[in-house]
Amino acid sequence: MKIGVLALQGAVAEHMKLLEKVGAEPVAIKKVEQLNDIDGIILPGGESTTIGKLMKKYGFDTALQEFSAQNKPIFGTCAGLILLAGEIAGQDWNHLGLMNITVQRNAFGRQRESFETDLIIDGVAEDFRAVFIRAPLILGIGENVKVLSEYNGEIVSARQGNLLCSSFHPELTDDARMHDYFLQMVIEYRGQTV
């Protein structure tokens, strides 16, 4: 299974290391044409506005919408979650607009308010160590969105069909269970691509 990591900005190497750990073949995606050769893609953490601008500049916005329309899985972590969201609080526009969720950028505060905590993630783990850095929050979900994890009653991970997202950075620990869950999604959806 070839799984790409969008390599425009953010924690690319860390995701690639964990993908290797779960037996996938990671590919750093820098050109739109590379999307044809992969079975799924991770949109990493970083700065959502910067990544969004670069995606638009290089044509990744429409290419990733087409990628998703083929039922190919996409996993957005932290900034990647914001890129997937249909609605961003305080903005009248979105980036990819693929997930039926509303998100709040920097919901947990600035860099100094970063923290780690153990989460229960449905279908993944009972004790997943999650790293939150300037993390967004899922304020609301719409149709067909399943909540996978909450922190203090707030949604921090969700899934909608072939789309997966987390407010936290699963790539910043050695725990590969979230990446393994995504790999299983890729295997599941590979037989259903159009």
pLDDT tens-digit series, residues 30-73: 999 999 999 999 999 888 889 999 999 999 999 999 999 999 99
The reply to whether 165 belongs to the active site is no
Do the bridges between strand 125-132 and strand 137-141 make them parallel or antiparallel, or are there none, so unpaired? Answer: unpaired
Mean pLDDT for the stretch of residues 134-150:
94
Q: Please give the model's pTM, rounded to 2 decimal places.
A: 0.94
Q: How far apart are the first and last CA of the chain?
A: 17
DSSP-derived 3-state class of residue 87:
strand
HSE-CB at 187 with a 13 A cutoff on CA atoms is 10
pLDDT for residue 166: 97
Sorted by where each starts, the structural domains of the chain and their CATH numbers stand as 2-190 (3.40.50.880)
**What is the pLDDT averaged over residues 17-40?**
97
Whether 169 is a known active-site residue: answer yes
Q: 14, 15, 171, 179: which is the annotated catalytic residue?
A: 171
Active-site position among 14, 15, 78, 179: 78
- The catalytically annotated residue of 14, 95, 165, 169 is 169
Annotated active-site residue 95? The verdict is: no
The per-residue pLDDT for range 73-110, each reduced to its tens digit, is 999 999 999 999 999 999 999 999 999 999 988 766 65
Q: What pLDDT sits at residue 146?
A: 97
Do 35 and 41 meet the contact criterion of CB atoms below 8 Å apart?
A: yes
Query: 125 pLDDT exceeds 60?
Result: yes
Question: At 142, is the pLDDT very low, low, confident or very high (cuts 50, 70, 90)?
Answer: very high
Helix 60-69 and helix 48-58, axial crossing angle in degrees, nearest 10: 90
